[in-house]
Structure 1
Amino acid sequence: MISSNIKPTEGEMEILQVLWQKGQATVREVHEALNKKDSGYTTTLKLMQIMHEKGMVERDTNQKTHIYKAIVSQDKTEKQLVTKMIDNVFNGSAARLVMQALGNHQASADEIDEIKKYLDSLK
């Protein structure tokens, strides 16, 4: 069952990022992509099993090595998390979120151009 209100943990988000990038992957491939020295393979496996139970990923068990794929949309998940952050952290102000993000992280010239184009399209 796919949840309409996705609330992935930080670890689950890291796994989703790998699966969104790769399309599909084994637990070993995800674990290697995460490159976590402090966390073992079995931890990644357990997290992915929990994600399967939550309806975030599906797994193909037709082969010896199970293949996992994200079944939650990257765009929808990002929108839900950003909305939650705007509401809970920035008291409903999208402008404060954007200013904080741009103040704390160096945006490239291309990213700034993209942001400007997006803002112009909203006018």
Structure 2
Amino acid sequence: MTPSQAELDILHVLWAHAPATVRFVHEHLQTKKEVGYTTTLKQIQRMTEKGLIAQHKTGRSHEYTPLVQEEDVKKSLFQQLVDTAFQGSTIDLVMHALGQEQPSESELSELESWLQARKEQASPSEDKHT
């Protein structure tokens, strides 16, 4: 399942601060954009129904925790972007991203290291006979 932007905003708060109350989530959302408390409450209720988050009663209040892992959601969103905007081509997405702005020297070094590690993983190990 791919969460909506509003659901993602709530999930980001919960991934960083769970368990959290509706009030806590709402206050965090307010720092980025104007949103009504009842809107946050309703969104959290819907997310609970969808199985994205779980509700736990703590004293007189309810706290919420995410049921979906951040990495799983990122993979799903990434795949959706690749499939829809880049017709399934991951390399086109990467080339597009790299072409948008000039990467710093440290970013280029990090990318080179990452690519080298991927090449080594992809190459079959060679047996050396002496």
CA distance in 2, matches of 1:23, 1:112: 35
Task: Report the structure number with the largest CA radius of gyration.
Answer: 2
TM-score by length of 1: 0.82
Aligned length: 118
Distance 1:92 1:74, change over 3 A: same
Cα root mean square deviation, aligned: 2.1
Displaced runs of 4 or more, over 6 A: none
2:59 aligned residue:
63
- Using a 3 Å threshold, how does the CA distance of structure 1 residues 17 and 96 change in structure 2: closer, same or farther? same
Aligned mates of 2:25, 2:85 — CA distance in 1:
31
1:9 has 2:19 as partner:
no
Contact 2:29 2:35 in 1 (8 A): no
User: Which residue number corresponds to residue 123 of structure 2?
Assistant: none
**Structure 1 spans left out of the alignment, 5+ residues:** 1-5
**Residue aligning to 1:34:** 29
More deviation, 109-118/34-43? 109-118
Counterpart amino acid of residue 51 in structure 2: G
Q: Which has the higher contact order (CA 8 A, sep 6+)?
A: 1
Quote how far apart the aligned CAs of 1:20 are.
Answer: 0.7
SS of the residue 2:60 aligns to: coil
User: TM-score by structure 2 length?
Assistant: 0.78
